[in-house]
């Protein structure tokens, strides 16, 4: 088939559908291997989850969602409209089928498999960020521990148990317990209700929108064309490669295609043998000014809230809402985050918040993303990272670019095979 049958096996040109961190990282590393790249997105660079997330680069907390405790927590949450996990009443049979498959994967055996699958990504993810930063992506990554906070030392047992299981599986994690006094010395935002903490060292954070925009600028400066407002309606294989068409009738051609559309991945991939369902687990965030500088990322595990220093204030992110990815922002979810976090954090001017946002994170049923070749030669997918798309975006792009250009599946991607 055209250039895909070249002796060296790799395509000369690739269209990447999706201008978030996964798609742009794939484009960047394809360029590094000499491939001509075109990027299209239905909105634009960093217009989806890549903009409003917490910005953590946290291999130490890249914990698969299908942990058994999450299932028990989720069942309790279904009757609580203020809970961080929210499944609106819906007759959608595909949603309930997805949740049933997810529940079936919430066992320690299957969670352990997802943990082990993630290990290569966790080990190399910061190195992939460093490679981007050393070669034209100017937005900085900031070294800082993530401090998890709890009302009592007993409440920290759940996270400590997860960290021990990750360590037992081979994950390199450095963490220390903090007393109430140590916590307040290190974190001026801690209220008197917080009595214990866990500090995870060796983590980083970024301004996610700024970083992905810088990544997009680097991709363009290296010769790519980025088409925004390009909503893909069809991907057609022909003798010379692929033609991608938009809703407005525009068409582009290339030797191969990568689909990296996040929570919308399933809409384009079902006809290519990708049987792993991907649904939108929507997250919310906002920005608020603070009375004192925030020294680093703060994690509130019991209410599933992540906080990050952001533009002189704090970005507060949380909730997991299984709803249509294009549904409007639900103000009740923002209110629920504030109600749960206000008693635990002080010096945050909640009523002066700005940038209220909702974004659709792509979630799979088995806790593992889908990365690699489909059953159609020259057509690849990348997505389903859940809450860790930013952390794992660059290393995903590097590994997928290797597979596309060499025709060989890297060992690190075997557990993420889209045809599993």
The tokens describing 105, both together, are 């994967």
Rounded CA-CA distance 96/99 in Å is: 5
Return all residues near 404 (Cβ < 8 A) that are at least 6 apart. Answer: 10, 11, 14, 30, 35, 256, 258, 380
Domains and CATH numbers, the chain: 2-416 (3.50.50.60)
Read off the pLDDT of each residue in 133-151 and give the average, rounded to a whole number: 97
Is residue 1 pLDDT above 70, yes or no? no
Return all residues near 57 (Cβ < 8 A) that are at least 6 apart. Answer: 125, 126, 129, 141, 203, 204, 205, 206, 390, 391
Contacts 24+ apart (CB under 8 A), 234-238: 235/17, 235/259, 235/268, 235/379, 237/1, 237/376, 237/378, 237/379
Predicted pLDDT at 323: 87
Read off the pLDDT of each residue in 115-133 and give the average, rounded to a whole number: 97
Rounded CA-CA distance 5/283 in Å is: 42
Predicted pLDDT at 8: 58
Rounded CA-CA distance 213/205 in Å is: 16
Return all residues near 207 (Cβ < 8 A) that are at least 6 apart. Answer: 55, 139, 310, 311
- Strand 241-246 relative to strand 232-238, pairing: antiparallel
How confident is the prediction for the chain on average, in pLDDT? Answer: 92
Band the pLDDT of 76: cuts 50, 70, 90. Answer: low
Band the pLDDT of 78: cuts 50, 70, 90. Answer: low
CB 280 within 8 A of CB 360: yes
Read off the pLDDT of each residue in 147-172 and give the average, rounded to a whole number: 94
Predicted pLDDT at 271: 80
Rounded CA-CA distance 273/276 in Å is: 9
Predicted pLDDT at 81: 63
Predicted pLDDT at 94: 86
Read off the pLDDT of each residue in 370-393 and give the average, rounded to a whole number: 96
Is residue 6 pLDDT above 60, yes or no? no
Query: What values do phi and psi take at 334, rounded to 5?
Result: -60, -45
CB 234 within 8 A of CB 18: no
Is residue 85 pLDDT above 90, yes or no? no
Instruction: Round the CA-based radius of gyration of the chain to a whole number and report it.
Output: 21
> What are the angstrom distances between the C-alpha of 38 and each of 43, 168, 252?
15, 42, 9
Query: What pLDDT, in 10s, does the model give residues 214-229?
Result: 999 999 999 999 999 9
Predicted pLDDT at 394: 98
Predicted pLDDT at 73: 62
Band the pLDDT of 87: cuts 50, 70, 90. Answer: confident
Nearest to 225 by CA among 217, 236, 233, 237: 217
Band the pLDDT of 299: cuts 50, 70, 90. Answer: very high
Predicted pLDDT at 79: 54
Query: What pLDDT, in 10s, does the model give residues 160-200?
Result: 999 999 999 999 999 999 999 999 999 999 999 999 999 99
**The whole model's pTM is what?**
0.93
**Coil, strand or helix at 389:** helix
Predicted pLDDT at 305: 97
Predicted pLDDT at 96: 87
Band the pLDDT of 3: cuts 50, 70, 90. Answer: very low
| Rounded percentage of the chain residues whose pLDDT exceeds 90 | 83
Structural element, H or E, at residue 405: helix 389-406
Is residue 329 pLDDT above 50, yes or no? yes
Read off the pLDDT of each residue in 286-301 and give the average, rounded to a whole number: 97
CB 347 within 8 A of CB 290: yes
Query: What pLDDT, in 10s, does the model give residues 27-54?
Result: 999 999 999 999 999 999 998 888 999 9
For 225-257, b/e burial (b = at least 16 CB within 10 A) is ebbeebebeebebeeebbbbbbeeeeebebbbb
Band the pLDDT of 82: cuts 50, 70, 90. Answer: low
The tokens describing 233, both together, are 């309606």
Per DSSP, the residues of 104-170 read: HT-SHHHHHHHHHHHHHHHHHHHHHHHHHHTTT--SPPEE--EEEEESSTGGGHHHHHHHHHHHHTT
**Coil, strand or helix at 326:** coil
């Amino acid at each position: 088939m055209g250039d895909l049958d070249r002796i060296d096996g790799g395509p000369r040109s690739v269209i990447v559908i999706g201008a978030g961190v996964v798609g742009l990282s794939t484009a960047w590393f394809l360029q590094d291997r000499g491939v001509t790249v075109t990027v299209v997105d239905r909105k634009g660079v960093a217009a989806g989850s890549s903009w409003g997330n917490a910005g953590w680069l946290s291999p130490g907390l890249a914990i698969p969602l299908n942990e058994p405790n999450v299932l028990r927590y989720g069942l309790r949450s279904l009757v609580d409209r203020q809970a961080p996990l929210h499944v609106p009443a819906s007759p959608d049979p595909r949603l309930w089928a997805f949740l049933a498959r997810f529940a079936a994967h919430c066992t320690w055996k299957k969670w352990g498999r997802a943990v082990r699958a993630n290990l290569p990504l966790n080990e190399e993810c910061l190195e992939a960020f460093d490679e981007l930063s050393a070669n034209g992506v100017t937005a900085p990554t900031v070294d800082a521990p993530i401090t998890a906070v709890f009302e009592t030392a007993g409440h920290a047992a759940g996270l400590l148990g997860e960290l021990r299981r990750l360590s037992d599986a081979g994950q390199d994690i450095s963490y220390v317990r903090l007393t109430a006094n140590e916590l307040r010395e290190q974190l001026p935002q801690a209220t008197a209700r917080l009595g214990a903490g866990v500090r995870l060292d060796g983590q980083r954070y970024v301004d996610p929108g700024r970083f992905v925009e810088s990544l997009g600028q680097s991709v363009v400066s290296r010769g790519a064309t980025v088409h925004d407002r390009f909503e893909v309606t069809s991907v057609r294989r022909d003798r010379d490669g692929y033609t991608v068409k938009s809703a407005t009738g525009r068409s582009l051609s290339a030797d191969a295609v990568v689909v990296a559309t996040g929570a919308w991945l399933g809409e384009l991939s079902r006809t290519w043998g990708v049987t792993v369902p991907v649904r939108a687990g929507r997250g919310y965030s906002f920005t608020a000014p603070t009375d004192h500088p925030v020294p680093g990322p703060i994690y509130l595990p019991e209410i599933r809230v992540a906080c990050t220093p952001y533009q002189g204030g704090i970005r507060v992110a949380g909730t997991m809402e299984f709803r249509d990815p294009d549904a409007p922002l639900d103000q009740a979810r923002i209110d629920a985050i504030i109600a749960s976090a206000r008693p635990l954090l002080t010096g945050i001017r909640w009523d002066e918040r700005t940038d209220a946002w909702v974004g659709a994170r792509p979630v799979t049923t088995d806790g593992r993303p889908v990365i690699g070749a489909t059953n159609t030669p020259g057509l690849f997918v990348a997505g389903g990272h859940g809450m860790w798309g930013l952390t794992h975006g660059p290393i995903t792009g590097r590994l997928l670019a290797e597979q596309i250009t060499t025709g060989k599946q890297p060992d690190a991607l075997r557990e993420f095979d889209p045809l599993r």
